[in-house]
Amino acid sequence: MKPQVADSKINSSGTSVSSTTSTLGEANECLFEFLHAEIMNYVIEKNASDSNVKNTEENLSELEWMGFGVGYRIIERLTREWVRFKDELDMIKFICTDYWSSLYHKQIDNLKTNHHGTYVLQDNEFRLLKHLANHNSNNNNKQYLRECPRLIAFTCGLLRGSLANLGISSIVKAEITLIPTCKFHVEVQRV
């Protein structure tokens, strides 16, 4: 009797979720972007008032850490009904394709690896940078380059958190040379 009750509960919540998702428009996308912007501004403002040190790199570790927490949780829900991964490369491939497209609406454009635990994931039009790009003049896409690390830190944490919950401890860095292209460097830490 009891499992049945639990079952129906799951079903009802499942249908309610799917009924909401069927109506979710693309607008949801801008919700996340605006929220992300608010979080980013909050963390930066707080740290700016904390430290008087200028001209050094901004402290974005909190943003990264929040991303880590979100990534750690979301991968659990994403892979719940997934077949077990064969190996590390299989996991990274999953990150590049299904994971990335479900979070950022597109796949990673290019994956490179040295087969020794370093992976480079390149997104040619990263969602959070997309609106900074100036499409009219191709050579002018460096205008906001200095502010870019802020927009990337959360996602670096997201990647690191997801990998951590898959059993890969890593360091994730990002590199931007021309907006909106972004390269994420994943270095797997082996003990």
**Is 10 a binder of other proteins (CB under 8 A)?**
no
Q: What is the nearest approach in angstroms of other proteins to the Cβ of residue 118?
A: 26
Which two tokens mark 43?
A: 């963390």
**Is 2 a binder of other proteins (CB under 8 A)?**
no
Q: Is the dihedral of CA 3, 6, 7, 8 positive or negative?
A: positive
Choose the stretch contacting other proteins; rule: CB under 8 A; options: 2-10, 93-101, 115-123, 174-182: 93-101
**Is 25 a binder of other proteins (CB under 8 A)?**
yes
Query: What gap in Å lies between CA 152 and CA 171, rounded to an integer?
Result: 14
Rg for the chain (alpha carbons), in Å?
19
**Is 150 a binder of other proteins (CB under 8 A)?**
no
CB atoms within 10 A of CB 179: 23
Containing 23, the helix (H) or strand (E) segment is helix 2-23
Place of tokens 């750690």: 72
Cis check for the bond before 180: say yes or no (omega within 30 of 0).
Answer: yes
Query: What gap in Å lies between CA 26 and CA 120, rounded to an integer?
Result: 29
Residue selected from 9, 15, 46, 89 as contacting other proteins according to rule CB under 8 A:
46
Place of tokens 């309610």: 16
If the CB atoms of residues 39 and 178 are measured against other proteins, the closer one turns out to be 39
**Is 12 a binder of other proteins (CB under 8 A)?**
no
Residue selected from 20, 49, 55, 114 as contacting other proteins according to rule CB under 8 A:
20
Residue selected from 6, 11, 15, 105 as contacting other proteins according to rule CB under 8 A:
105
**Is 58 a binder of other proteins (CB under 8 A)?**
no
**Which chain residues interact with other proteins by CB under 8 A?**
16-18, 20-21, 23-25, 27-32, 34-36, 38-39, 41-43, 46, 62, 66-67, 69-70, 73-74, 77-78, 81-83, 98-99, 101-103, 105
